[in-house]
Chain A
Amino acid sequence: MSPILTGRVLYQCAKASIFTISVAIFANDNLFEIVSISGKSMTPALSPDHNTSGTRDWIVLRKMQPTNNIKRGDIVSYPSPHNPDKIAVKRVIGLDGDTVLLDQRRRSAMPPEKQRGWDTWGGKCVVPYGHLWVEGDHWSGSLDSNHYGPIPKSLIDGRALGLVWPWSRFGQTPWTQYRSKTRVIEGIAVCPKEWEL
């Protein structure tokens, strides 16, 4: 093949790749993202066989206005407060204005330093305006609001729409059947005067 032809082919390949990658990144950031659920914090709803066979569930998240019409029980994704480069996927337990009654059983799975932090809540937390209380379904081994408190809604970047893998459960939303044992007293969110826009 002549060098000019090779050059043209390479150029076209490079153009096509850059275009495809840019579209993928744009779609991933603004439209939909597919993530794998590693870790057992959301079992049995997500990745139930993680400990046995290592298979992970893959879910698709909606990235456009993820907290619009958010409901208790929705699954959301956000950069983990403990490590912002990792994506945390947890369930919304309390909306702003709700009073969350902290689950005692979760405390027993925490290391001593974290238990002291947990105790400062005094057993309950009123979720402030613009924030959410999130928890992993599994009572042990989940880093969630029990560790770092309510998270701002503005931290949330995705809301789960459905499973994409394993194929046998494509499109399902297995988490909707699960009812969290953490008790919540529903309330109404009121923007504090000093934060009104």
Chain B
Amino acid sequence: MSSRLSYYLQRSVRFLSPAPPVIANRYPRLHNVLWVTKAAGYALLFGHLITTYGFSYTGTWGVSMLPSIASSGDFVLISKFYRHGRGLEVGDLVTYKHPYHGDQGLYGIKRLVGLPGDFVLRDSPGAKEGVMIQVPQGHCWIVGDNLPLSRDSRMFGPIPLGLIKGKVIAKSQLFGRDFKWMKNPLQDVADDMHDEEDETI
């Protein structure tokens, strides 16, 4: 019994061990071509895994997120762990597939202002009597930081969480210069303002 076992074990070891370098020695040019193809294949595979499920680093352009993100020249680091809305909080910067042109490859970055069940202003503060809406199940409300020049949920309504592809966690200039973590700016109100709220009129 054990000699059978060791026979099959040896065969599998030989099968799994790297082959003797026949091609490298006798056909060097073919070897190089194969090697480059293999390297490109691995790069494609792992590139896909990393950028879809891990992190991506991409350039941005547009005025809708001033002053948080420059109109051009800024690069952002996106964490894909937050895709589909997982773990997101109001105030986070999110990247999303555009509801009108996403199937043509257009993505955007905006600030998350409402999660499912939350309540938000439908328009900018001070406009149109401050009408409010509730964000429907499975959707979110996103608004650009540059309110007058951002086309966002105030125009296209709430978008399904399935369109959210990640969270912007940092930005930098080209090659990582001026690297800066993008923290969630939703914060407690400064103390003196809070006291004003408590005064009864």
Q: Which of B6-37 contact A (CB under 8 A)?
A: 9, 12-13, 16-18
Contact B100 A195 (CB under 8 A): yes
Q: Which residue of B lies closest to A197 (CB)?
A: B101
Specify which chain A residues have a CB less than 8 angstroms from the CB of B103 in the assembled complex.
65, 67, 130, 152-154, 156
Contact A13 B16 (CB under 8 A): yes
Contact B13 A84 (CB under 8 A): no
State how many residues of chain A have any CB contact under 8 Å with chain B. Answer: 38
B17, B45, B136, B155: the one contacting A22 at CB < 8 Å is B45
Specify which chain A residues have a CB less than 8 angstroms from the CB of B49 in the assembled complex.
22, 25-26
Query: Digit string of A77-116 for contact with B (CB within 8 Å is 1, else 0)?
Result: 0111111110000000000000000000000000000000
**Known A22-B45, A130-B99, A194-B155: A151·B16 in contact at CB below 8 Å:** no
Specify which chain B residues have a CB less than 8 angstroms from the CB of A1 in the assembled complex.
9, 13
B102 at interface, CB cutoff 8 A: yes
Q: Which residue of A lies closest to B139 (CB)?
A: A81
A78, B161: Cα distance in complex, Å: 11
Specify which chain A residues have a CB less than 8 angstroms from the CB of B106 in the assembled complex.
197
A98, B62: Cα distance in complex, Å: 32
Specify which chain B residues have a CB less than 8 angstroms from the CB of A30 in the assembled complex.
48
Contact B44 A26 (CB under 8 A): yes
B163 at interface, CB cutoff 8 A: yes
Q: Which residue of A lies closest to B99 (CB)?
A: A152
Specify which chain A residues have a CB less than 8 angstroms from the CB of B12 in the assembled complex.
9
Q: Which residue of A lies closest to B83 (CB)?
A: A84
Contact B17 A79 (CB under 8 A): no
Q: Which of A60-75 contact B (CB under 8 A)?
A: 65, 67
| B contacts with A: majority SS | helix
Query: Digit string of B177-190 for contact with A (CB within 8 Å is 1, else 0)?
Result: 00000000000000
Specify which chain A residues have a CB less than 8 angstroms from the CB of B162 in the assembled complex.
78-81, 84, 155
Contact B99 A154 (CB under 8 A): yes
A16, A129, A155, A195: the one contacting B160 at CB < 8 Å is A155
Specify which chain B residues have a CB less than 8 angstroms from the CB of A79 in the assembled complex.
84, 160-162
Contact B84 A84 (CB under 8 A): yes
Specify which chain A residues have a CB less than 8 angstroms from the CB of B65 in the assembled complex.
none
A195, B152: Cα distance in complex, Å: 11
A12 at interface, CB cutoff 8 A: yes
Q: Which residue of B lies closest to A6 (CB)?
A: B13
Measured between C-beta atoms, what is the minimum distance from B3 to chain A in Å? 14
Measured between C-beta atoms, what is the minimum distance from A23 to chain B in Å? 6
Query: Digit string of B81-106 for contact with A (CB within 8 Å is 1, else 0)?
Result: 00011000000000001111111101
B59 at interface, CB cutoff 8 A: no
Contact B161 A84 (CB under 8 A): yes
A82, A85, A195: the one contacting B101 at CB < 8 Å is A195
Specify which chain B residues have a CB less than 8 angstroms from the CB of A129 in the assembled complex.
100
**Known A81-B139, A194-B151: A155·B163 in contact at CB below 8 Å:** yes
Q: Which of B151-171 contact A (CB under 8 A)?
A: 151, 155-156, 159-163
Specify which chain B residues have a CB less than 8 angstroms from the CB of A8 in the assembled complex.
13, 16-17
A5 at interface, CB cutoff 8 A: yes
Contact A152 B138 (CB under 8 A): no
A148 at interface, CB cutoff 8 A: yes
**What residues of chain A have their CB less than 8 Å away from a CB belonging to chain B?**
1, 5, 8-9, 12-13, 16, 19, 22-23, 25-26, 29-30, 65, 67, 78-85, 129-131, 148, 151-156, 191, 194-195, 197
Q: A152-B163, A194-B151 are in contact. List 7 more A-B contacts (CB 8 A).
A: A1-B9, A79-B161, A130-B99, A148-B139, A152-B103, A154-B103, A191-B100
Mind listing 6 A-B residue pairs with CB under 8 Å?
Answer: A29-B48, A83-B138, A84-B161, A84-B162, A130-B100, A155-B162
